[in-house]
Amino acid sequence: MQRPITLGEFIVENQKDFPYAKGDLTALLSSIKLAGKMVNEKINKAGLSQILGKMNSENVQGEVQAKLDIIANDIFISTLKARGEIGGLASEELEDIVIFDDDIHKDSKYVILIDPLDGSSNIDVDITVGTIFSIYHRISEPGTKVTQEDFLQKGENQVAAGYLIYGTSTMLVYTCGNGVNGFTFDPGIGSFFLSHPNITFPSSGIIYSVNEGNYIHFPTGIKKLIKWMQELNTEENRPFTARYTGSLVADFHRNMLMGGLYLYPQGSTAPKGKLRLLYECNPMAFIAEQAGGRATDGEQRIMEIQATELHERAPFICGNSEMVSIAEKFIAENK
């Protein structure tokens, strides 16, 4: 039986899918792959090496940082900087962009935005977490320092996006605009192997993922949508089921494979929701659309939103097209 193809072999075979230059995707994704392995190693033994728990520091979001948040952030920055393809990066954990202002990086063509450890509140209780990344071709001139504008591009300009999911197995899932492919890490060999080729959302779904603890704060349309899904959950009707882990990568990944809807709506206590547009919503939206799904803020396509700030938030409704359309209908009818 022929062995599955490795991530590295797959990237080389599909290098034609990555615009602008030869070899760049290989180098960029191989550094993400390496950093993912290193973070995975830390997570898998976190309980043994006293790196659980919280720092006494807050990130730019005002969230108390988990120790592994910082470790993951440092691993990705150092690993990405070791290559010459990106001129700088933005991270959920850092207030400002990091500019790689040296001869190795000055002619770089790309920038990357990362959420180094999404869902980190789950770390101490051993629930799945992930890393999310979003890659753009810089709009500033190579040979100059990257600028904030390079990072504020609309999601539709992304050239690649993906996530690592550190779950019962560790996977890397990515797109560069030609479909979505998933690779499972074999720790015995130390490589990612193609396990989920051409991932697409099922045409319909019965899973919905939302923090119902915020129900009283939701807009009327979202409240009615949730009640509709609950009321339909009877024997003679199509049953909906609620699944919510508090980890976007985990909820998104499950819903993409099984069919479902993830919602982090705006609310009276969170006027633009909680998720960050540039390094959570946009990359997941790119993946969702490439997998035949959709992603909206309830009014417009996520990837058409023009960011004005690095860490701005956006309401996020994402899943298979049928369920996203139902959500939009409830929102439109209850403005």
**Which of 260, 56, 43 is closest to 130 using CA atoms?**
43
Exposure b/e, 180-206, CB count within 10 A at least 16 = b: bbbbbbeeeeebbbeeeeebebbeebb
Q: Which is nearer to ligand P6P, 121 or 200 (CB)?
A: 121
Span interacting with ligand P6P, options 49-57, 113-121, 177-185, 299-307, rule CB under 6 A: 113-121
Bridge-based pairing state of the strands 241-242 and 207-209:
parallel
How are strands ordered across the β-sheet holding 98-99?
A: 98-99, 86-91, 110-118, 129-137, 158-166, 170-175, 180-186, 191-196
- By CB under 6 A, name the one of 33, 67, 274, 311 that touches ligand P6P: 274
Residue 63 CB, shortest distance to ligand P6P, in Å, is 7
Q: Tell me, what amino acid is at 195?
A: S
Span interacting with ligand P6P, options 25-33, 187-195, 240-248, 299-307, rule CB under 6 A: 240-248
- By CB under 6 A, name the one of 24, 93, 118, 150 that touches ligand P6P: 118
317 SS3 class = strand
Residue 131 CB, shortest distance to ligand P6P, in Å, is 11
Span interacting with ligand P6P, options 73-81, 117-125, 155-163, 296-304, rule CB under 6 A: 117-125
Instruction: For the chain, give percent helix, strand, coil, nearest 5.
Output: 35, 25, 40
249 and 165 in contact (C-beta within 8 Å)?
A: yes
Q: Which is nearer to ligand P6P, 26 or 61 (CB)?
A: 61
Q: How many CB atoms lie within 10 A of CB 48?
A: 8
211: contact with ligand P6P by CB under 6 A: yes
Burial class of 145 by CB neighbour count within 10 A (0 to 12, 13 to 18, 19+): middle
Task: At 171, list the tokens.
Answer: 């996977």
248: contact with ligand P6P by CB under 6 A: yes
167: contact with ligand P6P by CB under 6 A: no
Q: How many residues bind ligand P6P (CB under 6 A)?
A: 10
Span interacting with ligand P6P, options 243-251, 282-290, 296-304, 319-327, rule CB under 6 A: 243-251
* Rounded Cα–Cα distance for residues 67 and 52 (Å): 6
CA-based end-to-end distance of the chain: 57
Span interacting with ligand P6P, options 6-14, 94-102, 242-250, 318-326, rule CB under 6 A: 242-250
3-state secondary structure 132-188: EEEEEECCCCCCCCCCHHHHCCCHHHEEEEEEEEECCCEEEEEECCCCEEEEEEECC
Q: Which is nearer to ligand P6P, 85 or 93 (CB)?
A: 93
247: contact with ligand P6P by CB under 6 A: yes
260: contact with ligand P6P by CB under 6 A: no
Q: Which is nearer to ligand P6P, 118 or 289 (CB)?
A: 118
265: contact with ligand P6P by CB under 6 A: no
- By CB under 6 A, name the one of 8, 179, 202, 246 that touches ligand P6P: 246
Residue 85 CB, shortest distance to ligand P6P, in Å, is 27
Residue 84 CB, shortest distance to ligand P6P, in Å, is 31
93: contact with ligand P6P by CB under 6 A: no
Query: Where on the chain is the footprint of ligand P6P (CB under 6 A)?
Result: 118-119, 121, 211, 246-248, 251, 274-275
